[in-house]
A and B are shown apart, each in its own frame.
Chain A
């Protein structure tokens, strides 16, 4: 096997291992309470019979390790368990919400990624000039703004005062795409603003790092035009860091989605998670937490593989 394939295989194996460790951590995270889940669900006033029933139902009489493996076995076969509050299987409730979340994140990414790369390039091209200063000022501000500030500001002015878009983003199965898109304009805008600054700053740093290399000076001393220098000499070396930046920020976006869904009452996975955290519905929280973590780890693996693929030292070993 070529060394590069070995490296990629190693990285994927490591990711899978990490995912298992994370599942242990998430499971353990819901076991740290001094009492038990049944008690916290039913409250202090519960009768001993009700407690005993619920414990049996949840399998709480088994040791934690047995419960972990039966949970893990279920997850691996697509059975995420049953919600305590609704008695519905989690998987069937979760799937449409997962798609809604991915739909929202997808459109936010489609807008923010090219925008961030272009603005990052502009900032490098006019480094230390007014454009660069404005862009980094904007970046500083937007990394400090809470999502709900941007969100309610948009709702207040764009949805309420001007009535351009709905303030509540309702989507349902079978809704026409155009309506769906109209519904998610505001939440997607918030997400874009949240990740844009960060992504732009990192893109700028990545390109700047490449532009300060000695081989860029060599190209300049060959008489190449700025455009050719960027196209032929900077770009091939900047792909990996930029892909890396993008993946890290998509992971960031996945997290930002939780608050944004609550602001716009969007029927996604984040909203589902938050609802069930306050209801202390542990099986749902575990399942959703695991899915979020899996997406996050997956994006990180892609980022690392992109970096491996783009490295000429690894592609063309001695």
Chain B
């Protein structure tokens, strides 16, 4: 682990050690509704060191404290968070003792920051160039002309289009992937010693992410800057970092070089993170009669001219899973709305169990509605916050089957057992459940209707990987027991591998590839599927370079 720290006070600094954090403690005050405010510990006794020019990945699930640690390297606490103990030593001095004046000299000069959402982090009122050179000029690193020259060179290095003039644009005139690179250029412009990357690619589509990731990696290597790279995605961090630190609940779990962490994790938790997506799922062969047939469906919003669904045809077989995969704007969620009747298609038909479903929701029978249930991405807004778990799960029982009183309660208890929660949760409100538990209750609500098909719209995307894995396993078990079919909408290829029997790949409103899982995922590929599959980060060192070399199509985000 960490080498014995040399005397870090002032003169005796070791030449290669840039950042040293010792026994960091960070607290925040929370205001729970109806209770007195209380202090909670967000980061508890974390220590780390980073050498000049090296990249350390900080990884963990939500609540691990990784962003908070990253920002502490700039002496900054976001949203009322307080650094209450420990030392943060940069270039030989403890920045926590340097006061606000000292911190201002450090920020934007020695340490710079790249945020998750560049779209929000740029000031909408100023041109990009003014914002990129601002810190360099403020700290006297360069005058305006030099700073602009350097900015243009950085734009080039980060492969931004029209590097000479892109600085004249305003933030809203540039795409998300490009903004993220401009923000990286902004951080590099004042030639800092350290950059804190805070989930810089998380908000991007997967095919855009790979380009931004490659650009960031090149820029780090060429400028020799050190970096703290914060992310929840182990496969991403494996591409850019020299070392990885795994965090959980504000405490250090494991710290080692990248190879060791992803090849030979020593701690059980790290091992779980590494092997998270390894659910083996045997593909089922389709029967002769599909449960749901979508035929030549074309749909547009508000009678508009732009079709968001173009001539889509797919089948789902009883007890099987069709995964619909695509990036944002591919029309995959619109397909779900068309099938449920929320967005009646302009053309085409939807057949369910041999009968044609009316296009509009209002024209469907109660039985049509019962047999086709839906689960949403954001479980917290999919449940009425003023209803208890018992009411939420019990309502479909009352509504569809007229169950009342003890009979209903018994069935609710059974369903709670099925989702591995138990009847102790009967009187809880959604706000009192964890993210995974909320999604389980939504699954139980769908199951209560005894449906033949459940549409799952990105049901695991908002969850941490380990929790998401638990949900996927539950869904697979339930499918085996209840023989229910799933239409599984996702942007995540790894999830598709874990759960699908057949796959439809969507791109700009159309299905570009459709077939059984084994067919769709084996070559030869069409250009888009190739791009999509090759963009999914894999948990091996050096994957990024291989993937970039092997690509045939430019990502849409460029």
CB under 8 Å from chain A, chain B span 140-191: 170, 172-173
**A contact residues around B26 at 8 Å (CB):** none
Residue B81 is within 8 A (CB to CB) of chain A in the complex: no
Contact A318 B172 (CB under 8 A): yes
Q: Kindly state the separation between the CA atoms of A219 and B121 in the bound complex, as whole angstroms.
A: 9
**Cα distance A236–B121 when bound, in Å?**
15
Given A225-B104, A313-B124, A318-B173, is A218 in contact with B138 using a C-beta cutoff of 8 Å? no
Known: A313-B172, A316-B173, A318-B172. A222 touches B124 (CB 8 A): no
Give chain B interface residues in 72-120, CB to chain A under 8 Å.
74, 76, 78, 103-109, 112-113, 115, 117, 120
A214 and B103 CA atoms in complex are apart in Å by 19
Q: Using an 8 Å CB-CB cutoff, how does the interface string of A215-248 with B read, 1 for contact, 0 for none? A: 1011111111100100011001100000000000
Judge whether B135 and A215 touch: CB under 8 Å: no
A214 near B106 with CB under 8 A, answer no
A86 within 8 A of B: no
Contact A223 B103 (CB under 8 A): yes
- Please give, as numbers and ranges, the residues of chain B lying within 8 Å of A228 by CB-CB distance: 138
Q: B307 within 8 Å of A by Cβ? A: no
- Whether A312 pairs with B120 at a CB distance below 8 angstroms is no
Q: Does A278 contact B (CB under 8 A)?
A: no
Min CB–CB distance B147 → chain A (angstroms): 13
Check B139–A223 contact: CB distance below 8 A: yes
Interface residues on chain A, size class:
20 to 34
A2 on interface, CB distance cutoff 8 Å: no
When distances are taken between beta carbons in the complex, the residues of chain B under 8 Å from A237 are 123-125
Main secondary structure on A side of the interface with B: helix
Residues of A within 8 A of B126 (CB): 232-233, 236
B130 to chain A, nearest CB (A): 9
B104 touches A233 (CB 8 A): no
| A6, CB-defined interface residue at 8 Å | no
Q: Contact flags (1/0) for A171-215 with B, using CB distance below 8 Å?
A: 000000000000000000000000000000000000000000111
Q: For residue A220, which residues in chain B have a CB less than 8 angstroms away from its CB?
A: 76, 107
Q: B45-85 CB contact bits vs A (8 Å, 1 = yes)? A: 00000000000000000000000000000101010000000
Contact A221:B113 (CB < 8 A) given known A312-B170, A316-B170: yes
Q: Inside 8 A of A221's CB, which chain B residues have their CB?
A: 74, 76, 107-108, 112-113
Question: A222 CA to B122 CA in the complex, in Å?
Answer: 12
Contact mask for chain A residues 39-58; partner B; CB cutoff 8 A; 1 contact, 0 none: 00000000000000000000
B173 closest partner in A (C-beta):
A318
Choose among B105, B125, B173 the residue that contacts A223 (Cβ–Cβ < 8 A).
Answer: B105
Residue B134 at the A interface, CB < 8 A? yes
In the bound complex, do residue A224 and residue B138 qualify as a contact, i.e. CB atoms below 8 Å apart? yes
B138-A214 in contact (CB<8A): no
Q: How close is A308's CB to chain B, nearest CB, in angstroms?
A: 14
**Could you tell me if A217 and B170 are in contact, using CB atoms closer than 8 angstroms?**
no
**A312–B125 CA distance with the chains assembled, in angstroms:** 6
Task: Kindly report which residue of chain A lies nearest to residue B106, judged by CB atoms.
Answer: A223
What distance in Å separates the Cβ of B219 from its nearest Cβ neighbour in chain A?
18
Q: Which residues of B contact A217 (CB under 8 A)?
A: 78, 115, 121
A223 & B135 in contact (Cβ 8 Å cutoff):
yes
B172 and A312 contacting across the interface, CB-CB below 8 Å? yes
B106 to chain A, nearest CB (A): 7
Instruction: Give the residues in chain A near B104, CB-CB below 8 Å.
Output: 223-225
In the complex, which residues of chain A have a beta carbon less than 8 angstroms from the beta carbon of B139? 223
| Contact residue among A223, A312, A318 (Cβ-Cβ distance under 8 Å from B109) | A223
Docked Cα-Cα span, A86 to B194, in Å, equals 82
Min Cβ gap A307→B in Å is 14
Chain A residues numbered 224-281 whose CB sits less than 8 Å from any CB in chain B: 224-225, 228, 232-233, 236-237
Residues of B near A218 (CB, < 8 A) are 113, 115, 121-123, 131
Cα distance, A221 to B190, chains bound together (Å) = 13
Task: A214 to B114: give the CA distance in the assembly, Å.
Answer: 12
Separation of A237 and B122 alpha carbons in the complex (Å):
12
CB distance from B208 to the nearest CB of A (A): 18
B194 to chain A, nearest CB (A): 12
Shortest Cβ distance from residue A192 to the other chain B in the assembled complex, whole angstroms: 31
Minimum C-beta distance from B127 to chain A (A): 9
- Closest residue of chain A to B120 (Cβ to Cβ) is A214
Contacts of A223 in B (CB 8 A): 103-109, 135, 138-139
Q: Which residue of B lies closest to A221 (CB)?
A: B113
Q: Taking the nearest CB of chain B, how far is it from the CB of A68, in angstroms?
A: 38
Residues from chain A with a CB closer than 8 A to the CB of B105 are 223
**In the bound complex, what is the Cα–Cα distance between A65 and B456 (angstroms)?**
60
Decide: A215 near B113, CB < 8 A? Known: A221-B76, A224-B104.
Answer: no
Complex Cα–Cα for A218 and B121 (A): 6
Within 8 A of A (CB), among B431-451: none
B90 → A minimal CB distance (Å):
13
A97 to chain B, nearest CB (A): 43
Kindly provide the distance from the CB of A283 to the nearest chain B CB, expressed in whole angstroms. Answer: 47
Shortest beta-carbon distance from A2 to chain B in Å: 15
Contact A312 B124 (CB under 8 A): yes
Q: How far is the CA of A225 from the CA of B202 in the complex (A)?
A: 30
How far, in whole Å, are A224 and B122 apart by their CA atoms in the complex?
A: 15
Taking CB atoms, residues of chain B closer than 8 Å to A219 are 123
Asked if B172 contacts A222 (CB within 8 A), the reply is: no
Q: For residue B174, which residue of chain A has the nearest CB?
A: A318
Q: Is the CB of B107 within 8 A of A215?
A: no
Question: Smallest distance from the beta carbon of B178 to chain A beta carbons, Å?
Answer: 13
- Residues of A with C-beta under 8 A to B112: 221-222
| Residues on B with beta carbons closer than 8 Å to the beta carbon of A214 | 115, 117, 120-121
Q: Give chain A nearest CB distance to B185 CB in angstroms.
A: 14
Q: Compute how far the CA of A237 lies from the CA of B138 in the bound complex, rounded to whole angstroms.
A: 21
Q: How far is the CA of A221 from the CA of B113 in the complex (A)?
A: 7
Q: In the complex the two chains form, what is the Cα distance from A228 to B134 in whole Å?
A: 11
Min CB distance B294 to A, Å, is: 35
Chain A residues, Cβ within 8 Å of B120: 213-215
CB < 8 Å: which of A215, A313, A316, A318 contacts B121? A215
Give, as a whole number of angstroms, the nearest-CB distance from B8 to chain A: 23
Contacts of A215 in B (CB 8 A): 120-124
> Whole-angstrom distance between the alpha carbons of A35 and B108 in the complex?
76
Query: Nearest A residue to B111 by beta-carbon distance?
Result: A221
Q: Give the nearest-CB partner of A219 in chain B.
A: B123
A218 to B113 CA separation, bound complex (whole angstroms): 8
Closest chain B CB from A101 CB (angstroms) = 37
30 A-B pairs in the complex with CB atoms less than 8 angstroms apart? A213-B120, A214-B120, A214-B121, A215-B121, A215-B123, A218-B122, A218-B131, A221-B107, A221-B112, A222-B107, A222-B135, A223-B104, A223-B105, A223-B108, A223-B109, A223-B138, A224-B104, A224-B138, A225-B104, A228-B138, A233-B126, A236-B123, A236-B125, A237-B124, A237-B125, A312-B124, A312-B125, A313-B124, A316-B173, A318-B173
- Chain A interface (Cβ < 8 Å from any Cβ of B): 213-215, 217-225, 228, 232-233, 236-237, 312-313, 316, 318
With A215-B122, A223-B139, A312-B125 known, 7 other A-B pairs at CB within 8 A are: A215-B121, A217-B115, A218-B131, A223-B105, A223-B108, A233-B126, A316-B170
8 smallest beta-carbon distances between A and B, as pairs: A222-B108, A223-B107, A214-B120, A223-B108, A236-B125, A222-B135, A215-B123, A223-B104
> What residues of chain B have their CB less than 8 Å away from a CB belonging to chain A?
74, 76, 78, 103-109, 112-113, 115, 117, 120-126, 131, 134-135, 138-139, 170, 172-173
